[in-house]
Amino acid sequence: MKIVTVIGARPQFIKAATVSRELRNYDDIEEIILHTGQHYDKNISDIFFEELNIPAPKYNLNVGSGAHGVQTAKMLSKIEDVLLEEKPDCVLVYGDTNSTTAGAMAAVKLHIPVAHVEAGLRSFNRQMPEEINRIVTDAISDLLLAPTNNAVEQLKTEGRKDYTYFVGDVMYDSVLYYKGLIEKRGKPDLIKGIDSFYLCTIHRAENTDNEENLKSILSALSQADKTIVLPLHPRTKHIIKKLGIKTADNIHIEEPVGYFDMLSLLAYSDKMITDSGGVQKEAYFLQKPCVTLRNETEWIETLDNGWNQLCGANLELILDALDYEPGMQTNLGEFGDGNAARKTIDLIKEKYFKK
**Closer residue to ligand UDP in complex, CB, 11/336:** 11
Rounded CA gap, 222 and 237, in Å? 17
**Interface with ligand UD1 includes 297 (CB under 6 A)?**
no
**Closer residue to ligand UDP in complex, CB, 32/38:** 38
How many alpha carbons fall within 13 Å on the CB side of residue 221? 31
**Interface with ligand UDP includes 279 (CB under 6 A)?**
yes
DSSP state of 224: S
- Cβ 117 to ligand UDP, closest distance in Å? 13
- Cβ 30 to ligand UDP, closest distance in Å? 27
Q: Which one of residues 130, 131, 169, 282 is an interface residue with ligand UD1 (CB under 6 A)?
A: 130
With contacts defined by CB under 6 A, name the span among 21-29, 33-41, 103-111, 286-294 that binds ligand UD1. 33-41
Rounded CA gap, 56 and 31, in Å? 11
In the chain the first and final C-alpha atoms are separated, in Å, by 9
In the list ligand UD1, ligand UDP, none, the entry touching 234 (Cβ below 5 to 8 angstroms by class) is ligand UD1
Q: Which one of residues 6, 13, 15, 39 is an interface residue with ligand UD1 (CB under 6 A)?
A: 39
Q: Which one of residues 256, 289, 312, 338 is an interface residue with ligand UDP (CB under 6 A)?
A: 256
The single residue of 39, 116, 203, 233 carrying the catalytic annotation is 203
Nearest to 32 by CA among 74, 60, 64, 9: 60
- Cβ 280 to ligand UDP, closest distance in Å? 8
Neighbouring CB atoms inside 10 A of 140's CB total 15
The question of whether 111 is a catalytic residue gets the answer no
With contacts defined by CB under 6 A, name the span among 14-22, 39-47, 266-274, 292-300 that binds ligand UD1. 39-47
CB 313 within 8 A of CB 207: yes
Classify 54 as helix, strand or coil. Answer: coil
Rounded CA gap, 94 and 20, in Å? 12
**Interface with ligand UD1 includes 9 (CB under 6 A)?**
yes
Residue ranges in 187-206 that form contacts with ligand UD1 under rule CB under 6 A: 203
Distances (CA, A) of 317 to 213, 216, 293: 13, 11, 10
Nearest to 149 by CA among 172, 161, 173, 166: 166
Query: What does DSSP say about strands 114-117 and 271-274: parallel, antiparallel, or unpaired?
Result: unpaired
Question: What residue ranges bind ligand UD1 (CB under 6 A)?
Answer: 9-11, 38-41, 44, 65, 96-98, 129-130, 203, 233-235, 238
Binding site residues, ligand UDP, CB under 6 A: 10-11, 14, 201, 203, 231, 256-259, 262, 276-279, 282
Catalytic residue numbers read 203
